[in-house]
Structure 1
Amino acid sequence: MTSTILERPVAVDPRDAIRHLFEARSVAVIGASGDPTKLGSSPLVAMCNLGFAGDLHVVNPRHAEMMGHRCYPSVEALPDGIDLAMLIVPAEAAVEAAEACAAKGIRAMVVIAQGFGEAGPEGEQRDARLLALAAQGVAITGPNTNGLANVATGLATSIAPIFQYPGRATGGRISVVSQSGAMVSSLLSRLHQCGLGIAKTVTCGNELVLGAADYLTYLADDPDTDVIVLYLETIRDMPAFRAALACARDAGKPIVAIKVGESESGQKATLSHTGAIAGSYRNTIAFLENEGVYVADDLESLALIAECLFRYDWSDTGKPANRFLASISGGFAAQTADVMERLGIPLQDPTEAGKAALSALPTQSHPVNPYDIAAQNALIPEIIDIFRNDGFDQLLFGLVLLKPAINDQVAALLIEAKARGMDKLFALSPQVDEAERRRFNDAGILLTDNTPALLKALAAIERHRAAGVLRAGRGQLPVIPALALPEGAGLVDEARSKALLGAVGIGTPANVVAPVSAFPQDALDPLRRPVVMKGLSDRIAHKTEHGLVALSLRSDEELRAAWERVTAALAKADPNGNAILIEEMIGSGLEAILGIQRDPVVGPVVVVGAGGILVELLDDAVVLVPPFDVAEAASAIAGTRFGRLLAGYRGQRYDLDALARAVAKLGALALAEPRIESFDINPVLVQSAGEGVIAVDAKVMLGA
């Protein structure tokens, strides 16, 4: 094959041709094989299984025909008018074939091969040749991709194993964008198990030309897609990705995402697999949720979030869900209620009127939530009506293994209850067969045998709803005064860092900063003792390790002795250090950690959570992406275990409102001062309710 690169004076955006990837009616497969054990057979089998009705051409010089399709000896021998080419040949041959396809007028290509940018200088040269084609307006998926599919048309330029099984990928309204090739089959299998059909799917590969943001933008405008599922490893182009999420929001297309790389080993796997540096997991999750994305932490709950969004109307987002749990088994009800408690999904008891209506039924069940049907199956619709009329808008109904005739009866009664107005009715079963699933699904009821995953899905949907309400009602953001940041990049000493906190209205202990040349006896008189003494340095982040901290100093003698120790240690650790900080010790409050991080992918974020020894014990710090107001900060903190400690544990209440105000101020500061790379405040002592917060230690890192 020749290496012909078209020369055009003006670059053309390959995104203009993206529709040729998904809407192709004439496809060429270069490197196809008739051997079912080889990857080259995959697209031919897949498109046979899906019933591709377009024109399929095969390039293989060793055969005249393959699986009923004519073979051509070269790309040049192909007929004109081909929309899309799939290249299943090694990297160098793939580049040559791509150039020949472009010369043939083909504007869309799927490049399966590895051996490009991730393979060093030789691979980078191949990248450059593909990019030259992209500059001519050629849309390229990959390289290093599993391909794409449009199930409705039967198009499958894909090596994903799921398409090799007839009936595993059926047509529907869910589209998938995956940055993992191997995982897409597992993801599609989970969706299939939920009875969900697929519209379009693509694996992004190296994202050399088209990236996840481009596919999301295309699907946001796709009339065949109602819900978008995203398997995310990293974000390569944040502005484009953010814009793509906005397109989906504007189009009313919910996005459900799973982000991999939470653990250190997971991040290493992501790096080795994609050749890209994954941003912090928590920061990315915070960004996604801030952008209105539904986030799951496993494939099972991901699929069930997608199913919930597909089967039910969630447009009434103004109030929290009010769920009730009913079951034929009291044991199942109790067990499920325990799981809901662990997930933070509350169950409210009926009102007095509801309890009275339930008590009037001819049953021995207690009028509580969760509710035990106690074998009174015929009363199921009436029981559900009572809860619905009592303000409950979601029902989780626990089935058990029943005799077939009784099972059919209970199913019919649940379907009747759904028709009578219990819209969000979820059926939980110990086992699910396809016929029963179809029966419930046809009635608009989600049926699952994975109760924990459904509960996680409902919790994610509720988080999404609550965050949306807060964003929609966002109040005034804190106003940050003009600050005189120190010149130059690097660490800022503690005294100047605390001065910045004071300037934005975050409390710090009363203090004195003195030159090392003379002990400041008279200046110390206004300070309440005990005090703490610290050597100041813009080179040393961890002062204790260098003997630069002395605690609990009360008498003049203790202060002078500490002065001699700390000044000597400072002279040794940092000869340029020339000042000592002496400040009041704060002996009360709950320790919190608070700070700004400038994530390389997400940008500025604010972190808040338990400080001191509680950091590792609780490990439930939250990340917020500015802008956000005080109410959003308070809600985020309140959702943590640390937040529950602040709100009142054994009668002791702390100033959650003051901490939320401090968090909101840091969010505004992060946006106002882009030179702040990080601002670590640990600990912040949260005082008793109404008494504020005090930052005990702080350090700023500035960029250039």
Structure 2
Amino acid sequence: MFDHLLNPRSIAIIGASSDEKKIGNVVVKNLIYFNYSGRIYPVNPKSEKIYGLKTYPSIEDINDEIDLAIITLSAPLVPDAVEACVKKNVKYVIVIAGGFSETGEKGAELEREILQKINGTNTRIIGPNTVGIYVPRSNVSTALTLPERTALPGDGKIAFISQSGALGLLTMDTISEYGTGISAFINLGNRIDLSENELLKYFENDEKTGSIVLYIENFKDGREFYKVAKETILKKPIVVLKSGRTSEGAKAASLHTGALSSNDAITDGVLRQAGIIRAYSETELMDYGKVLAYQRPLFGDRIAIITTAGGLGVITADYLVSENNGVGMKLANLSEETKKKIKENIVPFGSAENPIDLTADGSTEQYSRVLEILNYDQNVDGIIVYALFQTAKVDETLIDVLEKYMKGKPMVVGILGSKIGKRMILEAERRGIPAFPSMERTVKAIKVLYMRGKYLKGRNKYGK
């Protein structure tokens, strides 16, 4: 359905330019930089070559089928360019320019004109007012950012749909630091044609995608979104960062993409009924997307904690259990047999009570033994492991241990520290282990697994 968009065989850039300050130049440069292997066709009647690529006076002069066209022209020139794409039978058209409905009636009229051009045709529009797409596995980037200034993530399991282009690019730049990857990024912009609802249907069945995250300022068709999401959620978890929660935020959203925000209490209820996890920051959006993509749902809320730093265990227990300043889960009541076995496998001055403290004298082998013991305790639903590589007896093979027990009870890992810690998070990411650099983010992540499990359990129980 969206293969011509996300894995195009040929791309035309209408408004391509040799001027490095122009958008038409950045798009061509990015396609080359990311080693896009398909055919690139710059369109500019005033140039012969751009970066060694032959240019064409118009898209209709290209003797090839075009899967994807990227229009980098100013808003008033876009309708005619779209018409040329329709005549060429282009499958998808990305309209980069702003200056449409987000600016007022004159811009809205341009959008209506574009829609008239594609009405009854096979051509679909992404945008306008968009940075387009970024698909690591296809080496496709239309992002309006310079590679030497901005990092983009590698291939991963999170599908990222965003109404804002800049927020999407900044978020991807940030998650790249810890190696989190994405399956695709699509910036919807003003969504005059293609919307989040169709993309949800696609990613529901995309085997490369483990979770779907969205930044949304308003829903194009709220009823349809609810209907589609409620079906998609059974196969793929969905996380939404919805802005415009306040009157001030709603006003800002309308100026940004022309969005009209709905009552936030209604939005919150709809998301909850559909089983969608709500995030309140870009960090939560990607953390939740990551843990849901990498780990199975958690069907109970009794959590065991393993650490080599007692203070971490105590603070985590508070945050885990507290209803007011935490996530309102339970500290697992370990069986006597479990505590006896743990005591036999850790140092004498360690604690076999939950949270389990291996102390600074704890070793990689002790982590492994305790994880095995906990996986047999029926009183434990999930596990938080603080993998602290700063101590002498914990070596990098602890990552191998964690990878092994990813097949056991649902587990979330906290890896703190800026030196070896960051390197180990990158390695955990490479192996599909959900690891986070703070206590708060680690605990929130395991709560999200429980929220998904609880919802799925309810759907199954009531046949909804």
TM-score over 0.5 for the pair: yes
Provide closer, same or farther for how the CA distance between residues 80 and 354 of structure 1 changes in structure 2, counting only shifts above 3 A: closer
Q: CA RMSD of the aligned region, Å?
A: 2.8
- Counterpart of 1:376 in structure 2: which amino acid? G
Provide closer, same or farther for how the CA distance between residues 246 and 344 of structure 1 changes in structure 2, counting only shifts above 3 A: closer
How far residue 125 of structure 1 moved from its aligned partner, in angstroms, is 2.7
User: 1:81-116 CA deviation, whole Å, 9 max, x = no partner?
Assistant: 122211111111122211122223323211111222
CA contact (8 A) 1:381 1:417 kept: no
CA contact (8 A) 2:132 2:143 kept: yes
The whole-number CA distance in structure 1 between the counterparts of 2:312 and 2:38 is: 51
* SS of residue paired to 1:229: strand
Identity across the alignment (%): 26
- Counterpart of 1:347 in structure 2: which amino acid? L
Q: Which sections of structure 1, spanning at least 5 residues, go unmatched?
A: 1-15, 476-626, 628-704
* SS of residue paired to 2:165: coil
2:362 to 365, 376, 380: 376
How far residue 331 of structure 1 moved from its aligned partner, in angstroms, is 1.4
Q: Which structure would you say has the larger Rg?
A: 1
User: 1:237-291 CA deviation, whole Å, 9 max, x = no partner?
Assistant: 12332233145235x1222221112233222211221222211223212211211
Provide closer, same or farther for how the CA distance between residues 332 and 196 of structure 1 changes in structure 2, counting only shifts above 3 A: same
Provide closer, same or farther for how the CA distance between residues 312 and 130 of structure 1 changes in structure 2, counting only shifts above 3 A: same
2:257 corresponds to: 274
CA contact (8 A) 1:380 1:413 kept: no
How far residue 184 of structure 1 moved from its aligned partner, in angstroms, is 0.6
* SS of residue paired to 1:144: coil
1:258 corresponds to: 241
Taking structure 2 as the reference length, the TM-score comes to 0.88
1:140 corresponds to: 125
2:282 corresponds to: 299
The whole-number CA distance in structure 1 between the counterparts of 2:406 and 2:199 is: 38
CA contact (8 A) 2:150 2:173 kept: no
1:459 corresponds to: 447
How far residue 417 of structure 1 moved from its aligned partner, in angstroms, is 6.5
* SS of residue paired to 1:473: helix
Count the aligned residue pairs. 454
Q: For 1:76-91, what aligned pairs fall within 5 Å after superposition?
A: 76-91=60-75
1:387 corresponds to: 374
* SS of residue paired to 1:282: helix
1:437 to 425, 445, 450: 425
Is 1:402 paired with 2:390? yes
1:103 corresponds to: 87
How far residue 208 of structure 1 moved from its aligned partner, in angstroms, is 0.9
User: 1:439-482 CA deviation, whole Å, 9 max, x = no partner?
Assistant: 4345553322132123222223312322332343349xxxxxxx
The whole-number CA distance in structure 1 between the counterparts of 2:191 and 2:52 is: 33
2:98 corresponds to: 114
Is 1:332 paired with 2:312? yes
How far residue 183 of structure 1 moved from its aligned partner, in angstroms, is 0.7
- Counterpart of 1:305 in structure 2: which amino acid? Y
The whole-number CA distance in structure 1 between the counterparts of 2:103 and 2:173 is: 31
1:285 corresponds to: 268
Provide closer, same or farther for how the CA distance between residues 440 and 91 of structure 1 changes in structure 2, counting only shifts above 3 A: closer
The whole-number CA distance in structure 2 between the counterparts of 1:286 and 1:293 is: 10
Provide closer, same or farther for how the CA distance between residues 471 and 107 of structure 1 changes in structure 2, counting only shifts above 3 A: closer
1:220 corresponds to: 204
- Counterpart of 1:446 in structure 2: which amino acid? P
Provide closer, same or farther for how the CA distance between residues 446 and 463 of structure 1 changes in structure 2, counting only shifts above 3 A: closer
User: 1:633-682 CA deviation, whole Å, 9 max, x = no partner?
Assistant: xxxxxxxxxxxxxxxxxxxxxxxxxxxxxxxxxxxxxxxxxxxxxxxxxx
Is 1:349 paired with 2:371? no
The whole-number CA distance in structure 2 between the counterparts of 1:441 and 1:460 is: 18
The whole-number CA distance in structure 2 between the counterparts of 1:219 and 1:171 is: 15
- Counterpart of 1:290 in structure 2: which amino acid? Q
CA contact (8 A) 1:46 1:163 kept: yes
2:398 corresponds to: 411
The whole-number CA distance in structure 2 between the counterparts of 1:241 and 1:421 is: 34
Provide closer, same or farther for how the CA distance between residues 440 and 153 of structure 1 changes in structure 2, counting only shifts above 3 A: closer
User: 1:576-600 CA deviation, whole Å, 9 max, x = no partner?
Assistant: xxxxxxxxxxxxxxxxxxxxxxxxx
User: 1:132-172 CA deviation, whole Å, 9 max, x = no partner?
Assistant: 1221322001111111233222222332x376668633223
- Counterpart of 1:88 in structure 2: which amino acid? T
Q: For 1:401-550, what aligned pairs fall within 5 Å after superposition?
A: 402=390, 406-408=393-395, 411=398, 414-415=401-402, 418=405, 421=408, 424-431=411-418, 435-441=423-429, 444-474=432-462
- Counterpart of 1:366 in structure 2: which amino acid? S
* SS of residue paired to 1:323: strand
CA contact (8 A) 2:156 2:183 kept: yes
- Counterpart of 2:395 in structure 1: which amino acid? D
